[in-house]
Structure 1
C-alpha cells in the first residue's frame, strides 16, 4: 500500500509504524532521505560528511532482520543525523576546528553506539560552529549553514546543521548538544523541536569538566513525540557520568517512559510566563510575537501568571563558569596553534584566564543560591513559558548580535540569556515551533519545567504542539523544498567561510 507523502517528510513514529506494518521498508526510507539531501543541501550546507553507502547497507540489514522475524529496536531503520561533536566510525569528527580537519575516529562514541544499538542508522555529520562556541553555525572547515526558510539568515547554533537537516527532511531524528541554547536556538529558528534534558538524564561520558553541570546532549526532531522516542534510547544508565544517578544498575527515571508520554490537561496547570526572565535582552519584535502567541493560546491554558524565578546574577554565573569550561578544554589549542583557533574560542579562553579563584568561588556560590530560588518558584508553578530566543534570525554574516534594539550586547553569547537562564539551574527545557515572526521565519516557544521532571515537560509540550497545529496563525509550515532545489550553491556566497 503506497504512502501518501514523501517518506523523507515522515515523523520518526509514523515511519516506524509504517515499517512495522510492512507498508514502508527501511531501504525506501533511506533512499528518500538521501534523495532529499542531494536535492537541497547545496543551498543550506547542513550535512557536511556523509555515509550514504553505510546508510543503505544498514537499511538492507534492518529489512533483513525484520523479514527474519527478529526483535526490532526502538529506532529500527530510522536515519539519524549526527552533530559534528560526536564520533561516528569512519566519518570525520572535526568539532568545526581546523586543528581536527583530518580526524577520523575508528569507533562510535557512546551516544552514537547507543542509537545504533537501538536500530538507528547514522547517515552523516551535521555542521556546527568551531567547538560549538556560538549560536551561528559557521566554521573554517565547512563554512556556513543557512536557514532553510531564508537563505540569507542565520540558522542558529550550535546544533544548526542538525536543525536544518530535520527541517529539510534529511532524517527524522538528529543529535544535538546544549550549553546555552545550542539545540534550543536552532530548533526555534528552523521550526523543529529541541529538548535539553535535566543534567545527567543523557550521560556525558567524555565531558572533561565532569562535575561542572553545563553542556548536555539531547534529542532533536520534528515533533515532541519523536524527541521523546529518541530520548528513551539516549537516557540510559551509565556510571561514567557523575550526574547520572544509579542504584542497582538503574536510574531514577525509566527511559521507556519518555516514549510513552501521558496526556496532560493544560487547563489544570499553573503556568508562569515571562518575556525575558527579568534580565535577558529581548528585542521588541520578539516580545510582540510572544504576546500575540500567548493570546491565541490563552483559551486552552489554565491559570497563567506573569512571573519567573529570580535570576539575579545569571549573566555573571554563566560567564564565569562557561569561561572555566573553555579554559579547561581549549587553552592548549590557543597556546599551541593560535592561528587555527577562532575568535569565539580565543575570547572565552582569555576571559577564563582573567578570572581569579575568588571569582570562580563566588560564581559557584551564586549558582547554589540561584538553584534554590528556582526550586522555590516551581513550588507554586508547574510550567514556565518564554520565548526561546531573544532576537529573530539575522544575516548569517553576522557572527553574533552586537546590539539588540540599539543597546550593545555584553558578549558574543549575551543574546542567549533566555536559554542559559535554565542551564544555570539545570532544569529541562524544550523549544517547539509557534508561528512565524515579522519576517515570516519560524518562532520558538521555550517550555521549562521542574528539575528531573523531564517527562512532564515533554508531555506538556506535546499538548501545546497539538493546540498550535490547530491554530492557523501559529501552525508550523515546512520550508519550500522546491525553492531550495532551485537555489544557487551557498558555498558560492561571499563570506561563506568566516574570518578568523
Structure 2
C-alpha cells in the first residue's frame, strides 16, 4: 500500500493545514479511505460520525480562508475512546446497557479537544466498561492486533491503539486505570501516555479525589502525544486534583544529550510475574539502551504490597460507578465488571484505610529513587500478545494468576505509585510483535519525562533493533481471510 496523507504525523499534518498546504477535507478523506481499506480486518472503531466530520472539515477549511484563529488541533481527525461521552454520537461503554445511549453534550475531556479544533470522526472500541486488557465486547465485537489479527490488541484503549498503528486516524484518545493507555500502545507499536493525576482534568470521575482513572493522549510519536496533551492540560474547577499547566512545556522539546541521562531499570518491580521470553527481550533492549545513555543500571525494588492496594483501589472505582446497576440486576454486568463490584462490596473501612496507608508508604519509597535516576524503565506487558479469543492471561511463567487483571501488574503498580508513565515503542519481541518500553518519571515531572522519551525515540529510530515497528497494511487490506476472524456488528449500528 502506497503512502498517503493518512500516514502524516499529527504534528506535520497540523503544520501543513496551518500553512494552507493541506486541506482538512483532504486529510479527512485520506483517513476515511484508509478506514475503508483496513477497518474490516481489525474492527477498531465503534460508532462513526463521518458525515458530521466532513461538515466540520469544510468549516475548518473556511476558518483558514477567512483568516480566523485556529486551535492547536485545528482540522485533525481524532478517534475518541468509547468511554468518553460525545455529543450526538453513540457512547456505549462496550455494554448492552448503553447500546442506544447518545449523550446530549461532550464531557470535559472531549470538549477541550473540540475547542482546540479536533474533528471527532469515530469512537474507538473498548472492553465492557473498560474492564480488562483485551478489547472485545458483545456490542461491537473484538478488535484484532494489526500485526496479527488473531491476537489481542490490548485494552482497554485497544481500538485507539489499532486506529493509530494502521494510520486510520492521526490522533486518538485513551484512559488508564491499571494500564489501559500503556498496554494497547505497547502491543500495537504506538505511544500511550498516562499523565500525573490532575494534569488532564476530568469532570466525570465519580471518585473525584482518587488519583486512579486518567484520560489522556495516544499517538504514533511522542511529538503527536505532546500536541494533543497541550490541548488537554490545565486546571478545571470540575476536577479537585487539577492544577495549572502551561502548554509551552509540552509543545517545545528541548535538546537533551542522551549521554547525560541516568536510567534505572527493573524487569518486574520485585513483584510481577514476567515470561522468560519477555525478560530476555527486555535485557536486549537494555543492552542497546545502555550504549546510548550515560548511566544505566538495575534498581532494586520490592513492591509486592502494591497488589493488594490495587485490588482495593480498583474495586472502589467499580463500586462507585456501578452500584445502582448492580443493585438493580447483577446479570446486567459482564463477568469482569461484576467481579470487580463484588470484590469492592466485600471490603471494610479497615481494608480501605490499610490500603491507603500502604499506598502512601509505597509512594514515598519509590519517589526517593528519582534523586538518582532521571527515569526508571520496565517492560509494559509480561507476555507477548495472546489470542483475543482468550479473555485474559491466566498464567505467566508457570505461575497461575489469581484474577483476570493480575497479568497487567507491570502497569498497575505504577498506577498505585501515581507517577507519570508512558509506553514507548522499542522494536519487537521474540515473536516479532511490538515491544513497549515503560518509562516512568517523578510525580508531576511529565514534561521532563516526555523530553527524555522524545530524545530516546529519536535514537531508537536509528537502530533497527529499537525502531518503532509498522504493521503490513498491504496484507491487512488484501487478505480477505482476516475479515472473517473479527466479529463485525451490522453497519447500521455504527453510523450516528
State yes or no: 1:359 paired with 2:357: no
1:166-245 matches, within 5 Å, as 166-245=164-243
Which among 441, 448, 456 is matched to residue 448 of structure 2? 456
Measured after TM superposition, the shift of residue 354 of structure 1 is: 2.1
Shift of 1:332: 2.5
- How far off is 1:265 after superposition? 2.1
Query: Could you tell me how far apart the structure 2 residues matched to 1:374 and 1:473 are?
Result: 30
Q: Does 1:326 align with 2:324?
A: no
Is 1:132 the counterpart of 2:130? The answer is: yes
SS of 1:195 mapped into structure 2: strand
1:271 Cα deviation from its structure 2 partner: 1.1
CA contact (8 A) 2:42 2:486 kept: no
Aligned to 1:291: 283
Gaps of 5+ in 2: 490-496
SS in 2 for 1:377: helix
Who is 2:492 aligned against? Answer: none
Q: Could you tell me which residue of structure 2 aligns to residue 248 of structure 1?
A: none
TM-score using structure 2 length? 0.96
Sort the Cα spacing of 1:485 and 1:276 in 2 relative to 1 into closer, same or farther, 3 A: same
Equivalent residues in 2 for 1:28-43, closer than 5 Å: 28-43=26-41
Question: Corresponding residue for 1:442?
Answer: 434
Are residues 165 and 236 of structure 1, via their aligned partners in 2, closer, same or farther at CA, if it must alter by over 3 Å? Answer: same
Contact 2:382–2:407 under 8 Å retained in 1:
yes
Distance 2:172 2:232 in 1: 12
Contact 2:144–2:486, Cα closer than 8 Å, also in 1: no
Paired position in structure 2 for 1:478: 470
CA distance in structure 2 between the partners assigned to 1:100 and 1:287 by the alignment: 41
| 1:310 shift after superposition | 4.1
Q: Does 1:379 align with 2:377?
A: no
The residue number in structure 2 matching 1:11 is: 9
Question: How far is 1:144 from its partner?
Answer: 0.3
Deviation at 1:58, TM superposition (A): 1.1
- Compute the RMSD of aligned alpha carbons: 1.5
Aligned ranges 1:157-172 → 2 under 5 Å: 157-172=155-170
Identify which of 358, 382, 385 aligns with 1:390. Answer: 382
Q: Which deviates the most, 445-454 or 233-242?
A: 233-242
Deviation per residue, 1:271-296 (Å, 9 max, x gap): 10111111111111111111111112
Are 2:305 and 1:307 equivalent residues in the alignment?
A: no
Shift of 1:378: 1.5
Deviations 1:239-268 (A, max 9, x none): 1111113xxxxx1x3123211122222211
C-alpha contact (below 8 Å) 1:310/1:370 kept by paired residues: no
The total of aligned residue pairs comes to 488
Secondary structure in 2 matching 1:300: coil
Q: Deviations over 1:194-243 (max 9, x none)?
A: 00000100011110011111010010000001101100011122011111
Shift of 1:496: 7.5
Runs of at least 5 residues in structure 1 that lack an aligned partner in the other structure: 246-250
TM-score under structure 1 length normalisation: 0.95
Question: What whole-Å deviation, never above 9, does each CA across 1:54-92 have from its counterpart, x for those lacking one?
Answer: 111111111111111112211111001000011111111
- The separation in 2 between residues aligned to 1:232 and 1:309, in whole angstroms, is 33
Distance 2:304 2:379 in 1: 19
Deviation readout 1:163-188 (Å, 9 max, x if unpaired): 00001111111110001100100000
Mark the CA change 1:474 to 1:375 in structure 2 (over 3 Å): closer, same or farther.
Answer: closer
Contact 2:45 2:159 in 1 (8 A): yes
**What does the per-residue CA deviation read over 1:5-60, in whole Å, with 9 as the maximum and x for residues that have no partner?**
41101101111112222221111100000111111111111111111111111111
Instruction: Return closer, same or farther for 1:308/1:219 CA change in 2, 3 Å cut-off.
Output: farther
Aligned residue in 2 for 1:422 = 414
Matches of 1:173 and 1:308 in 2, distance apart?
37
